[in-house]
Amino acid sequence: MNTTSSYLTVGGIDVDVVYKDIKNLHIGVYPPLGRVRIAAPLKLDDDAVRLAVVQRLSWIKKQQHQLQSAERQSEREMVTGESHYVWGVRMRLKVVERPGRVHVEVDSDRLLLYVPEGAERGVRAAALEQWQRQQLRERIPGSVSSWEPMIGRTVPRWSIRKMKTKWGSCNRETGHIWFNLELAKKHPDCLEYIVVHEMTHLLERSHGERFTALMDSFMPDWRARRDQLNGAPLADEKWN
Ligand SMILES: [Zn+2]
């Protein structure tokens, strides 16, 4: 099937566009960050898609707000039996209460969380977050340095933070890249995609044709990785 793909920024919202041999335009808003993905018929172009997005902007923003409040409500209990994702693999949490230091360990498909007796939800959640940060800290340097020669830019500084609407961001002047903590829950291919995406922004600011061409040359399968990152849609609507 003949498909092409592009990025647009409309009304401050980043939109991923895929052109396919389909009849109608589909707009999807994806958890956990409310990423917007559009499947558009081949007969449309970026301007037509941009117009369609502008017309649906309030619907999109409403979906994103619903998504964010759903995320807040689904705050994890951090109890034994709950499932948590580690590098794209679903694991079952087992909370072990014991004296001593807080500690996280993976044992095949179980995620073991060692906490002091009576540790509250917040303590358990913070312990897991700390461990997720550590997981990212171990993987990011190797990924970044392996892409530096290919992309021809160095990343002098990077950090990890919680972000509501983005998987990554960068400061083009300083070369500083930020990674969303949530990436520790996704397959490592997704982290690598964000590394390449943000490093490509050091060469090209906007999500235009040049950006897409650079991404195609660096990482030909970036679209599949992006789709993997965004998972199943929260809301998927068909517009005629
Ligand atoms: Zn970008």
Q: Mind listing the pLDDT tens digit of every residue in the chain (240 residues)?
A: 456 778 888 888 889 899 999 999 999 998 878 889 999 999 999 999 999 999 999 999 999 888 888 777 667 889 999 999 999 999 999 999 999 889 999 999 999 999 999 999 999 999 999 999 999 999 999 999 999 999 999 999 999 999 878 899 999 999 999 999 999 999 999 999 999 999 999 999 988 889 999 999 999 999 989 988 887 554 445 444
φ/ψ of residue 204, rounded to 5: -145, 120
Q: Are 39 and 26 in contact (CB under 8 A)?
A: yes
> Which two structure tokens, joined as six digits, stand for 201?
């922004």
Q: How far is the CA of 44 from the centre of ligand 1 (A)?
A: 22
Residues with Cβ within 8 Å of 65's Cβ and at least 6 positions away in sequence, in order, are none
Q: How far is the CA of 97 from the centre of ligand 1 (A)?
A: 42
Query: What confidence score (pLDDT) does residue 6 get?
Result: 81
Amino acid at 176: H
User: Measured between alpha carbons, how far is 15 from 101 in angstroms, rounded to an integer?
Assistant: 44
Q: How far is the CA of 207 from the centre of ligand 1 (A)?
A: 6
Q: How far is the CA of 101 from the centre of ligand 1 (A)?
A: 39
Residues of the chain with CATH 3.30.2010: 83-203
Q: Are strands 89-97 and 110-115 parallel, antiparallel or unpaired?
A: parallel
Q: Are 38 and 19 in contact (CB under 8 A)?
A: no
CATH code linked to domain 83-203? 3.30.2010
Question: Between helices 57-73 and 46-55, what is the axis angle to 10°?
Answer: 60
Q: How far is the CA of 166 from the centre of ligand 1 (A)?
A: 9
Q: How far is the CA of 126 from the centre of ligand 1 (A)?
A: 29
Q: How far is the CA of 205 from the centre of ligand 1 (A)?
A: 8
Q: How far is the CA of 93 from the centre of ligand 1 (A)?
A: 33
User: Measured between alpha carbons, how far is 201 from 179 in angstroms, rounded to an integer?
Assistant: 14
Q: How far is the CA of 104 from the centre of ligand 1 (A)?
A: 33
In three-state secondary structure terms, 172 is coil
> Which two structure tokens, joined as six digits, stand for 162?
């919680």
